[in-house]
Amino acid sequence: TAEAPFKLNVTAAPTISKGLTDQECLVGKELRLTIVSAASPQPTVKWFKDNVELKNVGTKVNDDTYELVIPNVKAEDEGNYKAVVSNPLGDKESQCKLTVIEPTDLKCQFPEQQTIQVGKPIKLECVVNGRPQPEVTWTKDGKEIKPSDRVEITKKPDGTCTMTIKGATPEDKVMHRRV
């Protein structure tokens, strides 16, 4: 009998064994989006943000692992990301949503201590920033102050929060705000 060596090439459309997952990332931190995909012949991987292809990004970590690295995440990096793995036999895609988080920053625009005449209005204002936009709760003696006929609480899209008390009473002393 005679033997002859031969090479067998098995071809397969891409499969994704580990897809992208939704991520939250703090501003300034590094983010790695990773997929694991097998295909023969070797696939190409294209990365997209909000359905726009990202050029010259993404790296092959090993035979079947691919990464998109954002070294210093910014607020504008938030969006929907997609990896498309392709070869001549087909393509597969995986998607995720990136939410960018910014630490809360609270600036109060009123003095720590104020003297208000009884019957006069009290207006306290602060500006709060962060992603997602933080909720502001006004409190007195550890209890939440709710809007009423006497108390108006507003929050503008720019993060400006105001509490106005229409007529000060002796019971209004020691007010606090909490993010």
Query: Mean pLDDT, to the nearest integer, of 44-48?
Result: 94
pLDDT score of 86 more than 90: yes
**d(C-alpha 92, C-alpha 29), whole Å:** 29
56: left (phi over 0), alpha (psi -120 to 50) or beta: left
CA torsion angle 170 138 159 114 (round to 10): 30
Global pTM reads 0.68
Please report the pLDDT score of residue 110 as a whole number: 76
CB 164 within 8 A of CB 170: no
Please report the pLDDT score of residue 142 as a whole number: 82
Query: Which amino acid is residue 32, in one-letter code?
Result: R
Please report the pLDDT score of residue 174 as a whole number: 59
**d(C-alpha 100, C-alpha 61), whole Å:** 25
